[in-house]
Amino acid sequence: MAFFPADGQAFNRTRQADLATALAVANTHWTRLRGLLGLAADDFGNGAGLWIVPCHGVHTLGMGFPIDVLYLDRALKIIDMKSAVLPWRFTPVLRQATSVLELPCGTIGQTKTAIGDTIEITLLPKDHSQLPE
């Protein structure tokens, strides 16, 4: 993805299916605010994903392509999901959601992901080799 480094992966443990093999994490004010803005559909293709933490709902204002959205609780269990959210839309705000996983359109259907599935997020270790000793 153009704006985000791949920080890890998202795996649907219930369905034994990869959701995102190049998962970026938006966990600061600015990365959550920016989200996927400025990306083209080609930049957010199969295998890409954005995990927004914390998050209760998203919008697609200013985006040029649809996305799939998974609402996750604290245990990373899917409590709701929206397929093919079109540009210039708002998704519902769910107070019980602690994070949201944005995926390329069609991922939910291709992986047969369903409400109640448990997602496993694996984050890559940060590269500390450039830190001074």
Q: Where are the beta strands (DSSP E) in 1-133?
A: 8-12, 17-26, 48-52, 67-72, 78-85, 99-104, 119-123
Q: What CATH number has the domain bearing residue 103? A: 2.60.120.1140
What is the predicted pLDDT for the residue at 19? 98
Q: Does residue 1 lie in a domain region?
A: no
pLDDT confidence band for 41 (50 / 70 / 90): confident
Q: Does residue 129 lie in a domain region?
A: no
Neighbours of 60 (CB within 10 A): 21
Greater confidence (2 vs 94) lies with 94
pLDDT confidence band for 4 (50 / 70 / 90): low
Residue range 94-109: mean pLDDT, rounded: 97
Amino acid (one-letter) located at 105: C
What is the predicted pLDDT for the residue at 93? 97
Q: Does residue 2 lie in a domain region?
A: no
Q: Does residue 69 lie in a domain region?
A: yes
- Structural domain boundaries enclosing 20: 8-123
What is the predicted pLDDT for the residue at 130? 46
- How much helix, strand and coil, in percent to the nearest 5, is found in the chain? 10, 35, 50
pLDDT tens per residue, range 20-39: 999 999 999 998 988 898 88
Q: Does residue 113 lie in a domain region?
A: yes
Q: Does residue 130 lie in a domain region?
A: no
Q: Please count the structural domains in the chain.
A: 1
Q: Does residue 133 lie in a domain region?
A: no
What is the predicted pLDDT for the residue at 53? 97
What is the predicted pLDDT for the residue at 118? 98
